[in-house]
Amino acid sequence: MSQFTLITGGARSGKSTFAELLAAQAKRPVIYIATAQIWDAEMAIRVKKHQEQRPSTWRLIEEPLNIHATLTQLKDEEAVILLDCVTLWLTNMLLAGQADQSAQPGQEAPSESQTSSHLYKHIEPQILANVQEVAQLAQEIKPKVIFVTNEVGQGIVPENPMARVYRDLAGRSNQILARKAEQVYLVAAGYPIELKPSGEKLLASLLKGDL
C-alpha cells in the first residue's frame, strides 16, 4: 500500500515547491504527472517555469484527463508519483463534460438555468465518482503518491454557473482525497501545516460527542 499525501493551499502559497521537496526526499525515482493543458501564451510561460524548477531526471507524463488509467499503469513502480495539480484535472473534466452539452449546429444554445442544472445533476456527480475511484487507487498502489491541489473557494461567490460548480467541485473533491490520504498538508506563505492526524482526531471526537 502506498503512502498517499495530499497538499493543498492557495495560489503561489508554495505548495508545489513543498511537494517537490517531499518527492525528492523519498530517494526514489520520481514520476511527475502534469495535468495542465496549454491554451495560451500565459499558460505556456507558467508551464515552462514549473519545468525549469524540476530536476531533469524526473520522468514526465502529461495527462489532462485519464488519471485513473495512468495510475493503474504505474501501480507496481518503485517510485514517487507527483501529480500537479488536481484542480487543473477537475477543470479539464468539467470542460470536457460541458462540451458534450453544447448546442449542435441549428439548435438553440441552452439557457443559464439549463446549463446549471446539467452541471449539478450530471457532470458533477460523474466527476466526483471519478475522483473517488482515483483516491481509492492512490491509497492502494505501490508507489508513494503525492497530489497537489488548490483552495479555490475562499473568495467571493462566482457570478456564473460554471464557476460556481467548479468552486463546489474543487471543495468536495479535496474532501474526498483528504479522507483517503495518509497525510494532508496546508501550505500558507511557504510554510506547510499538517492537518492530519490532529484534525482527524478532533473531528472524530466531535462526531462522538466526546468534547
Residue ranges for the binding site? Answer: 9-16, 34-36, 62, 84
The vertex-39 CA angle with 185 and 117, nearest 5°, equals 70
Beta bridge partners of 146: 5, 82
The span from the CA of 34 to the CA of 19, in Å, is 13
The span from the CA of 101 to the CA of 107, in Å, is 12
The span from the CA of 60 to the CA of 74, in Å, is 12
Give alpha helix (H) positions in 74-189.
86-101, 112-118, 124-140, 161-180
Query: Are the beta carbons of 5 and 181 closer than 8 angstroms?
Result: yes
Instruction: Measure the CA dihedral 52/58/64/69, to 10°.
Output: 180
Decide if 118 is catalytic: no
The dihedrals phi and psi of 165, each to the nearest 5 degrees, come to -65, -40
Q: Which residue in this structure is represented by grid cell 504527472?
A: 33
Annotated binding site for GTP: 9-16, 34-36, 62, 84
Q: Which of 50, 68, 118, 122 is catalytic?
A: 50
Annotated catalytic residues are 50
